[in-house]
Structure 1
Amino acid sequence: MFYNFLYQFHTELSLFNVFRYITFRSIGCSVTAFLIVVLVGPSFIAWLQKKQIGQVIRDDGPETHFSKKGIPTMGGLLILFAITGSALLWTDLRSGLVWVLIGISVFFGAIGSADDLKKIRKGNARGLSAKEKLVLQICGALAVGIFLLVTRSHDGVLSFPFFKTFHPDLGWWYLPFAVFVIVGASNAVNLTDGLDGLAAGPIVITASTYLIFSYVAGNAVVASYLQIPFVPGAGEVTVFCGGIVGACLGFLWFNCYPAEIFMGDVGSLSLGGTLGVVSIITKQEFLLVIVGGIFVMEATSVILQVGYFKMTGGKRIFLMAPFHHHFEKKGWLEPKVVVRFWIISIILGLIALATLKLR
C-alpha cells in the first residue's frame, strides 16, 4: 500500500523514492510485523484467557507438559494478522505472488483454526481427522500449483542446490510435486511445534534464508551471476518473508520458555504451508530440505517411529516421537532441547546460503 500510494509522488518529494527499494520495504515489513505482535500480544493473550482458549495436552505426552494445560493457544491468529497486515502495507499489491502467499497462509490458517477449536471444544488432543486435514491441505496446495503453472509464474523446471546445469522439466507433473512440498512442509512444521519456541525459532531462520534467496532470484543480474533461476517479481516475496521473520520474532517474545502463549495449529500449519509456497515460487524447493532440516528431522522421526512400531508389533526406535520428545524422555530440560535445535537450524541455514556459491 505504501509503495502503491506513496512511490508515485517520489518526483515531487524525493523522500518517497525509498519505497522503490526491496531492502527498505523488507525491513519496514519486518519491523511492522514485530511491533504489531509485541504491542497487541498482551491484550490478545488476555482475551484468549477470558475466552478460555487454552492448550489441550495429550495424556500420553511427557509428564513435564501437564503444567502447560490451559495456557492460551491459537497465537497463530496474531502471527497471521501481523504478517498479512504488514504485507498489505509494504508489498506491491499488484503482484500476484503476494496474493498467492496471503491466500495460502489464510487458507491453511483456517484449517488450523478448525482443528484447534475442535480440540478445545472436545477437551482432548483430537481435532480434525488426519484425512480431513490432508484433503483440505491438498486442495489448497493444488490451487496454488495450478495458478503458478497457468500464469507461468513457474514453468515446472526444478533447480538443485550444488548443481549448475541439472534442471529437469517436469511440465504438469510438477503439480503433484508442488502439492507434496506444500503439504509436507505444513505438516512438518506442525509436528515440530511441541516445545516453547521450538517451531518459531527455525521458522525465523528458514524465512530469513528464503528472504535472501528471493531477493537474489528477483534480480536478473545477480541471479545470472550466482547461476540460480531468475524469477520475475520474486522481490515482493522478499518483503513478505520479512513479515514472517518479524512476526515470529515478536511471537517469540511471548512464546519463549516459559511460554505465555502457543501458536497452535492455526500458526504451524499456515506458516509451514507458506514456507513451502515460498520455496516453490523461488524455485528452491530442495533447499527447504537443508534449511528446514529440523522440520524434516521431526517429520521423519514420526514416520520411522510409526512404521517401525507397526512392523515389529510394538517396538520403538525413539523413546517418543516427534524427535524432540525423545530428548525430554532422556532427561534434557526443555530450554536445552530448544536452544540446541535452534543452533542446528542456524548451521543448516548457513549451509543453505553457501549453496549460492557452491554450484
Structure 2
Amino acid sequence: MLYHLFEYIDRVFDLPGAGVFRYISFRAGMAALFSLIITITFGKSIINWIRKKQIGETVRELGLQGQLEKKGTPTMGGLMIMAAIVIPTFLFADVYNIYIILLLATTLWLGGIGFLDDFIKVFRKNKEGLAGKFKIVGQVVIGIVVGTTLYFHEDVVVREFQTPVSVEEGVIETTPFRDAKSLKTTIPFVKNNELRYDVIFGFFGDFLTPILFIGLVIFIVTGVSNGANITDGIDGLAAGTSAIIGLTIAIYAYISGNAIFSQYLNVMFIPNSGELVIFCAAFVGACVGFLWYNAYPAQVFMGDTGSLMIGGVIAVLSLTLRKELLLPLLCGVFVIELLSVIFQVSYFKYTKRKYGEGRRIFLMSPLHHHYQKKNIPEAKITVRFWIVGILFAILALATLKLR
C-alpha cells in the first residue's frame, strides 16, 4: 500500500523523493529487505511461539542418519515464509495488478492447505496428515482460478510491436503496437519460439479450448507444488533451491515487463508483468531469511505450510510470464526428486508383479534420502543440490540467447 500512498503524494503534492516508488528496482530492493527483516527479526519469536504450542515434527523411523534428532523440532515454519512474502508485497507492489492478485491468492490458499495438513499431523497426532485427495482438490481449485483468469481476464494480454524499438541519441522512439489477447507461450532453445495454445487446442473445438487450457494449468500447478513438497526432506534443501528459482524468475519478469529489453532479447512483452519482480524479491528474501533458522541443523521446518505454497507460487509465476515450458529447467531439482519417487515406485511394483519380490532403483526415494543412506553428510547433500539448482538456473537464463 506504500506504493499507492507515495504515488498519490507524488501526484498531488509533488513531494521530492516520493517518485522513487515508481521504480521497480527500488521497490524490489525494499521488498527483499523487508522480507529478510521479517524472517530474521521475528523468526525467533515465531519459533518460540510454535515450540510453546508444542508444534513439533513427528518423525517416522526410516533408518536415516540423524533422523531421530529432528524429532520435536518446530514445524509450520512456512508461516514465516508466508508473512515475509505477503507483507512486503502489500507494502511495495501494485495490489490492483491482476498478476499480483493471482500470486497473493495462490500464496494464501496453498499455504492454508499446507497449514491444515500440518495441523492434523501435529495436533491430531495423525502422521498421514490431510488426505491426499483433499490436497489435490485444493490444488485443482487454485489451478481453476489461475487458468480461468489467465484465459478470460481482460488485463492479461501480450503486447505485439509492429515496428522495431530503436534508440537514437538517447531518445526512445515511439513505436506502434497492439495489445493482443493471446494464449502464446515460449519454447526454450527455439528461434521462432512462440507456441499458441489457442491454435493447438482449437483442433478440438472452440468450446474445449478454455477447458484444455485450464486443465494444463491445473496439471502444472499440481505437479510443481508436489515436486517442492517432496524436495522438502532435509535441512535447507527446499528453501535454498526455491530462492535460486525465484531469483531466476525475477530476471525473466523484469525483462518481460520492459518493452526495450523484451524486444532486444526477443522475449514476449507482457504489460504490467514487471510488478512480479517485487513479488519475486519478497519470495527470494523470505526463502533466504528462512534459511537463517532452517540451515543445518534446522531450528524450524517449513512443513507443508511452506512447501506446497512455494511450489504453487513458482508454477503460477511461470504461467503468468509464459515460461511454463521452461519449468523442467527452472525446477530441475524438483523434477529430479519427483521422478526419483515415480521411478522407484513404478519399478518396485513392476518387479513385484514379475518376480514376486519388489526391487529398488535407489536405496531410498526421494533422491536426497538415497544419498543419506550412503552416509553422505546432510549439509553436503543440500549444498550440492543447490549447486545443481544454480546450474539449471544458468541453463534457463541461457535460453534468452541460445536458440
Query: Shorter-chain TM-score: which interval?
Result: over 0.9
Asked if 2 retains the 8 angstrom alpha-carbon contact of 1:34 and 1:247, the reply is yes
Residue 195 of structure 2 aligns to a residue whose secondary structure is: coil
Q: Is the contact between residue 56 and residue 124 of structure 1 (CA under 8 Å) also seen in structure 2?
A: no
Q: What's 2:165 paired with? A: none
> Could you tell me which residue of structure 1 aligns to residue 144 of structure 2?
142
Distance, in Å, in 1 between the alignment partners of 2:193 and 2:273 is: 22
- Give 1:174 shift: 2.1
- After TM superposition, give the deviation of residue 66 of structure 1 in Å: 1.2
> Match for 2:246 among 190, 195, 207?
207
> Which has the larger Rg?
2
Residue from 258, 278, 295 that aligns with 2:317: 278
Q: Give deviations 1:264-297, integer Å, cap 9, x for gaps.
A: 0000000110110000000011222112100110
1:344 and 2:388 aligned: yes
Spell out, residue by residue over 1:310-357, the C-alpha distance to the aligned partner (whole angstroms, 9 max, x if none).
111111110000000000001101001001001111111111111111
Q: What is the aligned counterpart of 1:196 among 231, 235, 240?
A: 235
Give the alignment of 1:248-259 within 5 angstroms: 248-259=287-298
Once the two structures are aligned, what percentage of the paired residues are identical?
42
> How far 1:124 sits from its partner (Å)?
4.5
Q: After TM superposition, give the deviation of residue 61 of structure 1 in Å.
A: 5.3
Instruction: Say whether 1:163 aligns with 2:190.
Output: yes
Partner of 1:4: 4
Paired with 1:66 and 1:221, the residues of 2 have a C-alpha distance of: 54
Structure 2 residue 334 is the aligned partner of structure 1 residue 334: no
1:79 to 2:111 alignment:
no
* Residue 122 of structure 1, CA deviation: 3.7
Instruction: Measure, in 2, the Cα distance between the counterparts of 1:174 and 1:238.
Output: 25
Verify the 8 A CA contact 1:2 1:90 in the aligned structure 2: yes
- Which of 345, 348, 351 is equivalent to 1:312? 351
| Counterparts of 2:326 and 2:9, CA distance in 1 | 39
The 1-side partners of 2:46 and 2:4 are apart by 31
Cα RMSD, aligned residues only: 1.2
Q: Deviations over 1:84-122 (max 9, x none)?
A: 000000001221111110001100011101111111134
TM-score normalised by length of structure 1: 0.97
Q: CA deviation at 1:222?
A: 1.2
Matches within 5 A, 1:1-359: 1-10=1-10, 12-60=14-62, 62-152=64-154, 153=156, 155-171=182-198, 172=210, 173-313=212-352, 314-359=358-403
Tell me the amino acid that sits aligned with residue 283 of structure 2: I
SS of 1:168's equivalent in the other structure is strand
**Cα deviation, residue 2, structure 1:** 1.6
CA deviations over 1:127-177 (Å, ceiling 9, x no partner): 112212111111111111101111152632221111132423223232211
SS of 2:196's equivalent in the other structure is coil
Whether the 8 Å contact between 1:58 and 1:124 is mirrored in structure 2 is no
Q: CA deviation at 1:59?
A: 2.4
Secondary structure of 1:158's partner? Answer: strand
| 2:226–2:308 Cα contact (<8 Å) kept | yes
* Counterparts of 2:65 and 2:297, CA distance in 1: 16
Alpha-carbon distance between aligned partners in 1 of 2:83 and 2:344, rounded to the nearest angstrom: 36
Aligned AA for 2:53?
K
TM-score, reference length from structure 2: 0.87
The structure that is helix-richer by fraction is: 1
User: Separation in 2 of the partners of 1:83 and 1:73?
Assistant: 18
CA drift at 1:81 = 0.9
**Within 2, Cα distance between the matches of 1:169 and 1:265?**
35
Deviation at 1:258, TM superposition (A): 0.4
Letter in 1 for 2:219: F
CA distance in 2 between partners of 1:61 and 1:214 (Å): 43
Separation in 2 of the partners of 1:195 and 1:295?
Answer: 13
2:187–2:195 Cα contact (<8 Å) kept: no
Aligned length: 359
Task: Tell me what 2:177 maps to.
Answer: none
Deviations 1:216-236 (A, max 9, x none): 001122111111111111111
Residue aligned with 1:350, SS: helix
Q: Structure 1: which 5+ runs fail to align?
A: none
SS in 2 for 1:14: coil
Distance 1:64 1:267 in 2: 23
**Larger deviation, residues 240-249 vs 221-230:** 221-230
Q: Which moved more, 1:56-65 or 1:175-184?
A: 56-65
Q: Which has the higher strand share?
A: 2
Q: 2: distance between equivalents of 1:262 and 1:64?
A: 15
C-alpha deviation, 1:206, in angstroms: 0.2
Which 5+ residue runs of structure 2 have no aligned equivalent?
A: 158-181, 199-209, 353-357
Deviations 1:5-25 (A, max 9, x none): 112333622311111111111
